[in-house]
A and B are shown apart, each in its own frame.
Chain A
């Protein structure tokens, strides 16, 4: 049995875990290719205009997998931690894909996580048994992939960061955004690559040390009920406060018209400005040209370099 895993949405957190799980069940796994223009377009073509781009890309990946696999895994992540959702669109994901791609309905292997049972492994097991796939009675997988070494996100980070020259004087940029914005090179126009080529060090929310988890979001007046908001606010707090990391500026990569980022991004921007750090927001959309993004990024980098050279003005 060949199981397809779309390289989209929270694949960047859980992809390796999913692959290992299905392989332990004796299935072959196929991860869709990296996002390219073709995949993006094929998603855009069938989806409703108003849908956010990451969802359209996800649909494109499903279409890529359809001819080469028996089943396509649809991660229906309602909740992956207590008291927090991901996004209403994640909650309706099976309905969204069912109606956008009606011909593929029988090929979908929906793995529902939450709202009650949020244990990823158990949820994978019950999804498997619903499709009649035998699961090994015991397995060594642990549901901890989110921020441990075993996620595609961190693998990607490490590849880029290892290619950086080790000298101390480079700039460090704190990157904020959803994992599928930061790590999908086809979507963000090779953003991490560009940073590395410019010899800029970067930090991402996925690199947060365990002792900072839950701290930043815990400082809010009201508990935040979105996982992707918590993780970003935690990381922001870490990047601002940890004396071990020195962040020169922040970049927020957001998908055009994302409902959550409108709120979370605004809250983060306020905190970054209050800390006196430079901030840049890049909206990624279907037509965002590489040139535009690079120009804005370059301008931002020179601003950071300038600030580095010229010590802060002393108020007179």
Chain B
């Protein structure tokens, strides 16, 4: 069986593992990202390339060490750098003499038949039913993860005993990873949600609510964003992510085929501030900041890798959104030199600011009611 690997991005290894093994391949999930992974990637990658690409390379090297022979990844046609990741990574790994094949899946829009030929060549079970079944299992897992994480982020800030939610999360991820049949997935999914709901909480209706957005990899991968969701949750902050893996897959693979103008709603929201598509999640970052203000969130945190082009454009316009709509925004740039302590201090300062604002607003409101 062909040993296939892929790069980590948050919990997406769970659906990917299912997808590949259902297709008759032998998935090699890279070891979890550690300092070593990052160092390995840094050694191979050019200095100013996006941080995600560097970590990806580290994943590949570690996966090759555990026997992977082939790398699966997605392609793209710009304008952002992601579309060229595959080419560059292949050149780099081959130059460094890693014996590995690359299968870059390009969007079917550009070459339908090529894509099909490629899949046929590498994938043993490539009848349409096989593809469909594999995709369905993977999709159910991805969906379960999204649901679970969404609820989890609402429970964590309220948990009575610090760490309970994280424990439930770890167990849920493991159970879901092991579930093999549709029925098992459903059971694990439901049980996971029930366990979350059963966690002892201290209700608090003045909890701070913030939106976490930015470049997809930085938002989804806890090992590079210093576990920002957990850290914020444990500070008592309710975090809403704007990017969820299953939804992202649904939008980029499915919606863009059947409803090409699905991005319109983002374009409209962002328009007064950013009226041009700039690749990546640039428009979404601005659009969701506008939306966060409209929905009375207390603040927005933007995550971006160093030299990330779309996010830097967004970052340049966010101060104005923040000023006009009066929503505090914190932009955090992360790369291999970012230190956990530094990021933590900035988060704490930001949360303090939000608390202060919130408290003051509430006081003003009370004052208004009394006098008005």
Contacts and interface: CB of A to CB of B under 8 A. Distances in A.
A51 B278 CA distance: 14
Contacts of A266: 46, 49, 88, 91-92
A46 B50 CA distance: 25
Nearest to B315: A48
Identify which of A76, A94, A99 gathers the most chain B CB atoms within 10 Å of its CB.
Answer: A99
Given A78-B276, A95-B274, A262-B46, A88 B79 contact: yes
A127 interface: no
Given A261-B48, A270-B91, A89 B309 contact: yes
B38 interface: no
B309 A88 contact: yes
A91 interface: yes
Contacts of B319: 99
Given A88-B282, A262-B47, A257 B313 contact: no
Contacts of A94: 275-276
A76 B307 CA distance: 21
A259 B79 CA distance: 11
A50 interface: yes
Given A91-B277, A95-B313, A263 B46 contact: yes
A262 B85 CA distance: 11
Interface string B81-99: 1011011101110010000
Given A225-B83, A263-B88, A96 B316 contact: yes
Interface in B294-347: 306-310, 312-313, 315-317, 319-320, 333
Contact of A88 (B95, B280, B333): B280
B310 A262 contact: no
B312 A95 contact: no
A220 interface: yes
A47 interface: yes
Interface in B160-196: none
A206 to B, nearest CB: 23
A62 to B, nearest CB: 14
B108 interface: no
Contacts of A224: 84
A252 to B, nearest CB: 11
A261 B50 CA distance: 11
B46 A50 contact: no
A260 interface: yes
A99 B49 contact: no
A51 B91 contact: no
Nearest to B312: A50
Interface residues of B, number: 43
A265 B307 CA distance: 15
B282 A92 contact: yes
Q: Which of under 10, 10 to 19, 20 to 34, or 35 or more describes the interface residues of A?
A: 35 or more
A84 B77 CA distance: 9
Contacts of A163: none
Interface string A199-243: 000000000000000000000111011100000000000000000
A222 B90 CA distance: 12
Contacts of A65: none
A91 B279 contact: yes
A258 B273 CA distance: 24
A100 interface: yes
Interface in B50-87: 50, 75, 77-81, 83-84, 86-87
Contact of B276 (A91, A100, A258, A259): A91
B278 A91 contact: yes
A189 B104 CA distance: 41
Given A50-B312, A88-B282, A95-B274, A258 B48 contact: yes
A108 interface: no
Contacts of B306: 50, 257
B315 A226 contact: no
Interface string A241-280: 0000000000000001111111101110010000000000
Given A88-B282, A89-B313, A267-B91, A95 B276 contact: yes
A196 B47 CA distance: 30
B79 A95 contact: no
Interface in B132-148: none
A85 interface: yes
A315 to B, nearest CB: 21
B275 A221 contact: no
B320 A99 contact: yes
Contact of A96 (B78, B84, B95, B313): B313
A259 B316 contact: no
A51 B275 CA distance: 19
A92 B278 contact: yes
Contacts of B315: 48, 50
A151 B208 CA distance: 56
A88 B84 contact: no
9 contacts: A87-B309, A89-B313, A222-B84, A225-B84, A258-B48, A259-B81, A259-B307, A259-B309, A270-B91
